[in-house]
Chains A and B, each alone.
Chain A
């Protein structure tokens, strides 16, 4: 029952506001977390056996007749489902305590679950229009979640995000229309087959350019990044974690990768464009991050930079590069989710996000300081944490493919990344305790529990990296490395 990944969060989201009338806190907390925990267990326990003999296809009957509810689960989509549900669970655990003072908790969980359902639907979609539709489901929920605090900055950031996101959606939709006009079909295997037989390089180029602009905006690659440094810091901390950890990867990187590698087929030109876009993002955003005073803004710029690594790895197109890119996607989702959550803990305890006002908080918030350190070192790529291995894979793949300059840039930017993460750690947690924070206490139980959960995962994935790569990354990278054949051959619907 692959449809459960979409239907369950939607159904729970539908009933939550009603339940919220009866029980304001306990039941919504319980129900939302139970749903996400179920999705994690379901992805791990049921998903893997399901695709053991190739991709699983969902076909449903309704009153004795087959209806067109086609979803496909392969190694790549299962991997994304795992990422979404694990980070989603961490975030919803954190929300139990963090969202107390915002009010309307049932509504908040409902929107969060709709966003998760949208992302899951996008990952399982087998049709270009479904990809667009579920992209919008996740996006509509995310606009209001960015504005959830209702302050001036939040509303302004949400509006900016909405406007740029609409431009992205419009160019994606336009490109889908062009492809439909060319091939007469929307389903991915049919489009892949038709494009292979058609000789229409110029028009395919135009629709690829439109997709790069649309998905580039969604993934916030430089030069399409303007909305992200406003939108991500303004949202409540758990939502920042979902946006940076998941949404930009699912609606930007996943959709782009699926279409370019499995439907269009990665041409040398496309590969070059993706690699340059990735490199510009990873270097540019790292320099922009250095100058930030606001801790969440710094993390937001860091997200752009790390997405650059992912796109660089996947854009390279070799099996090792793709595996490295996907592994980095997983690691960044865990670590950046964790870092946004710890920044939320700091903000709730001290009331500020300004790094210059903090100092010595490690003495008052030992768990937050320790988990933040794990996340920071992981993203910066310090061994033996998970981020080190994925960056190593990407750099090895670049050297292997004969791109030593790209590899050098990636290594140097990694040093820059370590620099600004140590800056956060030193300014916020180390040094003398600022007098103002003498009375600050450690974050409440569930907030600490969820950051510890994600930090332990970062450490565990780092130590067990070969197991993780074998069980989750290899099957996903295999699907992408197979290129167009993966969809045409095994998705024969």
Chain B
């Protein structure tokens, strides 16, 4: 329980840092650390596939893409962190933890827990047979993303 709580606090801490930090590189790394914590939480809650994907894709691949993009575009200027972040961040963090502790404990007891059923087959079976429509939807999201990039960056190419 203590490890779990520590992991969750770390997750919130680094997620908020990722928003507050003005230096993009630091923000990207904070995000990676946050998702590392989340991945470990997934492992501890018996969801190894979710954990593997969280750590390999979100903490790994996406961070690499972010850092590459920052490295390619950064003008190497020193970014000054906002002084507000120094006050607002700890305040926000404390308030969040307090509210969380007060609300969640009462709330969690109200949710009737479902008896975890037997494993519904291997990962492949669940993905391909159980959630096939999700794959179609994901293809659509990826298509939308690709076409958005093509559409939104169309004029810049000419000007450059």
Q: Taking beta carbons and an 8 Å cutoff, which residues of A are in contact with B?
A: 6-7, 10, 13-14, 17, 60, 62, 65-71, 103-104, 107-108, 110-111, 114-115, 117-118, 121, 125, 127, 129-130, 133-134, 136-137, 140-141, 143-144, 147-148, 150, 178, 181-184, 198, 200, 202-203, 206
Report if A111-B111 is in contact (Cβ < 8 Å); known contacts: A68-B132, A147-B152.
no
Q: Does B129 contact A (CB under 8 A)?
A: yes
Q: Is the CB of A144 within 8 A of B152?
A: yes
Q: Is the CB of B136 within 8 A of A69?
A: yes
Q: Output the least CB separation between B154 and chain A (Å).
A: 5
Q: Give chain B residues whose Cβ lies under 8 Å from the Cβ of A65.
A: 129
Flag the segment in B41-49, B58-66, B142-150 that touches A.
Answer: B142-150
Q: Give chain A residues whose Cβ lies under 8 Å from the Cβ of B130.
A: 68
Count how many chain B residues have C-beta atoms less than 8 Å from C-beta atoms of the other chain: 30
Q: Output the least CB separation between A132 and chain B (Å).
A: 9
The 9 closest A-B pairs by CB, nearest first: A144-B148, A133-B137, A184-B114, A140-B144, A67-B132, A137-B140, A107-B151, A141-B144, A114-B144
Q: Is the CB of B137 within 8 A of A137?
A: yes
Q: Give chain A residues whose Cβ lies under 8 Å from the Cβ of B150.
A: 17, 104, 107
Q: Is the CB of A104 within 8 A of B151?
A: yes
Q: Give chain A residues whose Cβ lies under 8 Å from the Cβ of B107.
A: 203, 206
Q: Does B83 contact A (CB under 8 A)?
A: no
In the complex, A313→B132 CA distance in Å? Answer: 36
Report if A183-B114 is in contact (Cβ < 8 Å); known contacts: A69-B132, A134-B137, A136-B141.
yes
Q: Is the CB of B133 within 8 A of A69?
A: yes
Question: Which residue in chain A gives the minimum CB-CB distance to B130?
Answer: A68
Question: Which chain B residues in 111-150 approach chain A with CB under 8 Å?
Answer: 111-114, 117, 128-134, 136-141, 143-145, 147-148, 150
- CB<8 Å pairs between A and B, sample of 29: A10-B140, A62-B132, A67-B129, A68-B131, A69-B132, A69-B133, A103-B154, A107-B147, A107-B150, A108-B151, A117-B140, A121-B137, A130-B134, A133-B134, A134-B137, A134-B140, A137-B137, A137-B144, A140-B148, A141-B144, A141-B147, A144-B148, A144-B152, A147-B152, A148-B152, A182-B112, A183-B114, A198-B112, A203-B107
In the complex, A146→B117 CA distance in Å? Answer: 45
Task: Identify the interface centre among B128, B136, B154: most chain A CB within 10 Å of its CB.
Answer: B136
Interface of chain B, helix or strand or loop or mixed? helix
Interface of chain A, helix or strand or loop or mixed? helix
In the complex, A443→B143 CA distance in Å? Answer: 33
Report if A140-B145 is in contact (Cβ < 8 Å); known contacts: A134-B137, A148-B151, A200-B110.
yes
Q: Give chain A residues whose Cβ lies under 8 Å from the Cβ of B113.
A: 181
Q: Give chain B residues whose Cβ lies under 8 Å from the Cβ of A62.
A: 132
Q: Give chain B residues whose Cβ lies under 8 Å from the Cβ of A115.
A: 144
Q: Output the least CB separation between A478 and chain B (Å).
A: 26
Q: Does B105 contact A (CB under 8 A)?
A: no
Q: Output the least CB separation between A199 and chain B (Å).
A: 8
In the complex, A60→B132 CA distance in Å? Answer: 10
In the complex, A200→B112 CA distance in Å? Answer: 7
Q: Is the CB of B111 within 8 A of A200?
A: yes
In the complex, A118→B145 CA distance in Å? Answer: 13
Report if A150-B155 is in contact (Cβ < 8 Å); known contacts: A68-B129, A111-B147, A144-B147.
yes
Partner of A13, one of B111, B138, B143, B148: B143
In the complex, A338→B139 CA distance in Å? Answer: 32
Report if A129-B134 is in contact (Cβ < 8 Å); known contacts: A111-B147, A111-B148, A144-B148.
yes
Q: Give chain A residues whose Cβ lies under 8 Å from the Cβ of B137.
A: 121, 130, 133-134, 136-137
Q: Give chain A residues whose Cβ lies under 8 Å from the Cβ of B117.
A: 184
Report if A143-B112 is in contact (Cβ < 8 Å); known contacts: A68-B132, A133-B138.
no
Question: Which residue in chain B gives the minimum CB-CB distance to A143?
Answer: B148
In the complex, A103→B158 CA distance in Å? Answer: 12
Q: Is the CB of A6 within 8 A of B136?
A: yes
